[in-house]
Amino acid sequence: MNQSISRGDCEPLKTYVTDALAEARRLGASGAEANVSVGQGLSVNVRLGEVETVEHTRDQGLAVTVFFGQRSGSASTSDLSPSALRDCVRAAASIARYTAADDCAGLADPTELATEFPDLDLYHPWNPGVERSIEMARECEAAARATDARITNSEGASLNTHEHLEVYGNSHGFLGSAAMTRHSMSCAVIGQDDSGMQREYWYSVARDPANLEPAAAIGRQAARRTVGRLGARKLSTRKTPVIFEAPVASSLLSHFVGAIRGTSLYRRASFLLDHLGKPVFAPHVRIHEQPFLPKGLGSSTFDGDGVAPRERDLVRGGILEGYVLDVYAARKLGLKTTGNAGGVHNLMIDPGPDGLTALLRQMHTGLLVTDLIGFGINNVTGDYSRGAAGFWVENGEIGDPVEEITIAGNLRDMYRGIVAVGNDTDTRGNIRSGSILIDHMTLAGD
């Protein structure tokens, strides 16, 4: 059957979870957990003023993990009919016959489960309809194309609206639910001059449509960023200070999270092994997690284990104060879960007093990175090497656009080499950062 969403009401979903848990119990499982989610949305894309795609999305699924003592098995299904649900739990139980007993396997300790569920203001359904969505996307793209004569082509503008309901329950009697919405508008345009073509984009995303940037502002920003890249040149190879502009700076924190995740630590696959209580960042850096931020894109009252996340500092005074752990990894490490099954919740690096302009002056001469490509990060050694594009900065002023260069270093040095963090925090993601100035990296080019 198709489960439809009605005013953010999770109650009808709870039955699927309790049915799955009951089936697990019937099969003799000593413990079980189940998660069910349904989502629906509309996505329209307009290109060169004409409708390109109208997509109606609608997803549902149930995932279950069963425990027979210390052995476990998992299964999932997109079919929520009673027979499919039974088959799904049986498949999980069948797998558990072959997996090895694992001392650390099992549900969260009952005392660790979340007990308070404050309203985090995450549910703001918005159904503008196809026609109105098309109008807004048109307005966004038209603003981009009107910004500069060098905008000659377009990949279009999109409006996406989405709502999502989720219920998690386990055999300790925990049953938690969450209803959330996520709406976004984006625009990508092509600029062209004698030097060739460039593409850039801009987007806005929010739980509440009232918090989206105006359509025309998104379009204009996409156009400005595109035109700014025209005429980009290569640079010669050199050592240089680097500013990661806010939209790309958050990637540095993602790599940090990757290194302090429980799985990376117990597998010894991290460049930050045994660094708890030790300096990892420059002394002025504070990084904290805010799980209960109203309307936050990473906000949640319970994690994937049913455990309450905590407001906490991961880094204070440059010192690593905590890891990112779920129940399983915590047991492997002999530590307590930090409520991070499924990841971090609104991680933020404290902004400094100044904006990007002041950071550019402080750097004086160096590279401003606005775009990164590739996956050249070694999580075991911290070695970093990625393709970059941006601007060469001289005397604190943004100069020529540059491209076809790489920037390289080691994340351990880069984190300790953070000279300043801007106050231009990009709040569009689960990880929030202002622009970050790093003392030096190796730029490879001609």
Partner 1 sequence: MSQALDTARQTLLAPAGLGDRDLEALFGQLLAHRLDYADLYFQYSRHESWSLEEGQVKSGSYSVDQGVGVRAVSGEKTGFAYSDVILLPALTDAAMAARAIARHGASATAAVRWRPGPVLALYAPLDPLASLEDAAKVRLLEQVEAEARAADPRVTQVMASLSGVQDVMLVARSDGILAADVRPLVRLNVTVIVEANGRRETASHGGGGRVSYQQFLQNHSAREYAQAAVRQALVNLEADEAPAGTMKVVLGPGWPGILLHEAIGHGLEGDFNRKGTSAFSGRIGERVAARGVTVVDDGTLADRRGSLNVDDEGTPTQCTVLIEDGILKGYMQDTHNARLMGVAPTGNGRRESYAHLPLPRMTNTYMLPGRHDPQEIIASVDRGLYAVNFGGGQVDITNGKFVFSASEAYLIENGQVTRPVKGATLIGNGPDVLTRVSRVGNDLALDSGVGTCGKDGQSVPVGVGQPTLLIDGLTVGGTQQG
Query: Cβ closer to partner 1: 362 or 378?
Result: 378
Largest CA distance in the chain: 72
Least Cβ distance, residue 241 to partner 1 (angstroms) = 15
Binding span for partner 1 by CB under 8 A among 13-21, 22-30, 230-238, 241-249 = 230-238
Tell which positions 337-356 bind partner 1, by CB under 8 A. Answer: none
Query: Cβ closer to partner 1: 75 or 167?
Result: 75
Interface pattern 391-410 for partner 1 (x via CB under 8 A): ------------xxxxxxx-
CA distance 85 to 336: 33
Interface pattern 248-267 for partner 1 (x via CB under 8 A): -------------------x
Tell which positions 294-313 bind partner 1, by CB under 8 A. Answer: none
- Helix extents (H) in 47-104: 82-96
Tell which positions 99-118 bind partner 1, by CB under 8 A. Answer: 99-100, 102, 105
Tell which positions 127-146 bind partner 1, by CB under 8 A. Answer: 130
Least Cβ distance, residue 374 to partner 1 (angstroms) = 4
Per the DSSP assignment, residues forming a β-bridge with 205 are 184
Burial of 298 from C-beta contacts in 10 A (0-12 / 13-18 / 19+):
buried
Binding span for partner 1 by CB under 8 A among 21-29, 81-89, 162-170, 343-351 = 81-89
Least Cβ distance, residue 56 to partner 1 (angstroms) = 4
Query: Cβ closer to partner 1: 98 or 395?
Result: 98
Query: Cβ closer to partner 1: 42 or 308?
Result: 42
Least Cβ distance, residue 233 to partner 1 (angstroms) = 12
Least Cβ distance, residue 244 to partner 1 (angstroms) = 16
Number of alpha carbons in the 13 Å side-chain half-sphere of residue 190: 11
CA distance 265 to 332: 9
Q: How far is CA 166 from CA 73, 121, 177, 291, 443, in A?
A: 21, 15, 6, 17, 45
Least Cβ distance, residue 405 to partner 1 (angstroms) = 7
141 SS3 class: helix
Contacting residue, 251, 362, 385, 427, with partner 1 by CB under 8 A: 385
Pairing outcome for strands 366-373 and 238-244:
parallel
Rule CB under 8 A: say whether 217 interacts with partner 1.
Answer: no
Contacting residue, 8, 387, 396, 429, with partner 1 by CB under 8 A: 387
Kindly give the interhelix angle for 82-96 and 11-26, rounded to the nearest 10 degrees: 40
Residue 120 tokens, joined: 């985090």
Least Cβ distance, residue 287 to partner 1 (angstroms) = 24
Rule CB under 8 A: say whether 383 interacts with partner 1.
Answer: yes
Nearest residue to 36 (alpha-carbon basis) of 138, 146, 166, 128: 166
Query: Cβ closer to partner 1: 72 or 221?
Result: 72
Least Cβ distance, residue 262 to partner 1 (angstroms) = 13
Rule CB under 8 A: say whether 214 interacts with partner 1.
Answer: no
Rule CB under 8 A: say whether 205 interacts with partner 1.
Answer: no
Rule CB under 8 A: say whether 186 interacts with partner 1.
Answer: no
Rule CB under 8 A: say whether 335 interacts with partner 1.
Answer: no
Binding span for partner 1 by CB under 8 A among 47-55, 178-186, 254-262, 418-426 = 47-55
Nearest residue to 181 (alpha-carbon basis) of 7, 357, 402: 7
Rule CB under 8 A: say whether 153 interacts with partner 1.
Answer: yes
Contacting residue, 27, 95, 217, 419, with partner 1 by CB under 8 A: 95
Q: How far is CA 81 from CA 16, 150, 203, 344, 417, in A?
A: 9, 54, 38, 33, 55
197 SS3 class: strand
- Counts of helices then strands in the chain (DSSP H, E): 9, 17
Rule CB under 8 A: say whether 56 interacts with partner 1.
Answer: yes
Which residue type sits at 151? I
DSSP for 280-330, written as a single string: -S-TT--EEE-TT-TT-TT--SS-TTSBPP--EEEEETTEE---B--HHHH
Tell which positions 265-284 bind partner 1, by CB under 8 A. Answer: 267-269
